[in-house]
Amino acid sequence: MDPILIYGINALVYIGIFAIVALSLNAEYGYTGLANFGKVAFFMIGAYSYALLVQAGVPWPVALALATLISSIFGLLVSLPAIRLREDYLAIVTLTFGEILRIFIKSEDWLANGVWGISIPPVFAAGNFTAGLWMNLALVFGLLAVCFVFMTLLANSPFGRIMRALREDQIAADAIGKNRITYKSQIFMIGSAMAGLGGALFANFVGYIAPESFLPIITFTIWMMVILGGPASNIGVIVGAAAVQLFERGTIILKDYVTLPIDPTNLQNILFGVIIITILMVRPSGLFKESKINTLGTRRAMRWLNPSSK
């Protein structure tokens, strides 16, 4: 198979995986305004659950579903103490949770081989590299499509309107009788489940995971995707995921063609920081505007308010 094609598919799979995780942060931060700075923790839970289950002989579709479920349960557990907190405390607690989880996996060798990491037996067309690549691509994009449709429906549902209400004015949301703690916990579960799904797909695709695959930079990258693409826009965060992934790869390829006086990985990370600060200053709403609520009711109301529009 053509190496360029392999590289292209590989990049697409990564884009798909991170688009799913970016969608999950969009549910939490974009729509609801929850600052989850420990995204990598749920990504990691999904990856490790999937890896351990497949190693234990569970069929991969079941492992994928269970990994998603396990991540959402962890999302609920973390949300119980954390979700009542102010935004800044929530950020600190979730960030710390990610770090502690990594220490836990590192220290407890019996669970997942500690720092040595574990490899995951290939589940697709064992031995056939090209077929496995295509299968992964199909699987990731199939699930991305499911997540996208789910998020679009969710954002336009009554639940989605409560999410936006919680983001804009919690006290008003309380006043109309919506229990914010319950809703926020549910959103945290949804977000963690999708992040876990992304992690499971990641583990399945790369075939080997270790604690060092889950550094805090992953959280930062996912935030960058959402902020660049546009919070509360599902299309936006997918475009953001693609842009960040391509940029990341671009700087790595660059080093083969251009001799830089600075290490490309360092340069890339410095540029990540510069880009995110620039976006926050120049265009805090991201590339894509927040998607409007689109239901039959809102369409009718708009026609009624504004008869000249189509």
Q: Which residues bind other proteins (CB under 8 A)?
A: 29, 33, 35, 37, 81-82, 85-89, 91-93, 95-97, 99-100, 103-104, 106-108, 216-217, 220, 223, 227, 262-263, 265-267, 269-270, 272-274, 276-277, 280-281, 284
The H-assigned helical ranges of 83-128 are 87-107, 109-112
Q: Which of helix, strand or coil describes residue 287?
A: coil
Angle between helices 216-229 and 234-257 (to 10 degrees): 120
CA–CA dist 52, 209 (Å, integer):
11
- Judged on CB neighbours under 10 Å (0-12, 13-18, 19+), 277 is exposed
Cβ neighbours of residue 188 closer than 8 Å, sequence gap 6 or more: 28, 34, 36, 75, 76, 78, 79, 83
**What SS3 class is residue 40?**
helix
DSSP 8-state class, residue 208: E
Question: Which stretch of DSSP H or E encloses residue 236?
Answer: helix 234-257
